[in-house]
Structure 1
């Protein structure tokens, strides 16, 4: 079967749940990643080549933590289920050993720590909606990385954020307290 992209002409208009969307997706392979939010299918472009340096820096930093040694993972572009009508795909997602075991049992899990790298196509409203969705799903921490400004916006709730710049030390506490680095080092 040949995968086709989802276009306005072939979009299913009656899908209301993640279950219905994922069933439709299995029956109509698209060749791309899509988030599903309240009946809306949102294309999720793959990570760009210039973003791999950020992802690599973060994963290399993560493997130095006790959480990694314990079996937790930081993975790129994995589904994070918010509820029955919302599924997001963070650029990087943190899952604990317990969450991985739940996934193996066929359960849907939400991320506790989502990392997004701001893309040129995202609006401010898109960013705010994603942040709200992650926290609605149980996230404790969301980082929004803005490469052009070399900043990390660290959210501990949809309304609470701290902006980190080049010389600031950032930590992923309380989720991964040992994941800590100077922000400017990520952009070298």
Structure 2
């Protein structure tokens, strides 16, 4: 029987297991991930895994959300850098995020598997990713308005720039490789410029 954990313990253990899962994914992909190895690295009983996830697919989805939230949190720390050129700042963040995921998607099976699962899973999983983008864009738009860096921002339009870039990079293989990055950047730039009034 698995041990009952306090809420604080659950948060700490879940974070530790996701960090361990990321290490294992990068070492040997999803096939190398075993619940036994993961719980061993996290220092808990094997059966305790099911206090956190119903299966490995659910874990993989949570790890992707976790990595995305970490990256957006880092970007939030540089909001002050956005004041000089809000459009360029956001275009660069979305573009670099998309190119990074595209390269990982091509080279690391875990990312391809997770992104394929995300596109096939329930709308709740897609909503969770969109809620991270929504939170990021809303905070950035609020910051710009407080600093008088913009006249107006259409937050929903900018959230769709993230969504559109996700759809493009997850279908990169349908494009001529030499044109894809330019097409992605043009798309992101056009959408961001349309929804930020300077």
Structure number having the greater helix percentage: 2
Structure number having the greater strand percentage: 1
Larger Rg: 2
Give the structure-2-normalised TM-score: 0.28
Q: Which has the higher contact order (CA 8 A, sep 6+)?
A: 2
Give the structure-1-normalised TM-score: 0.30
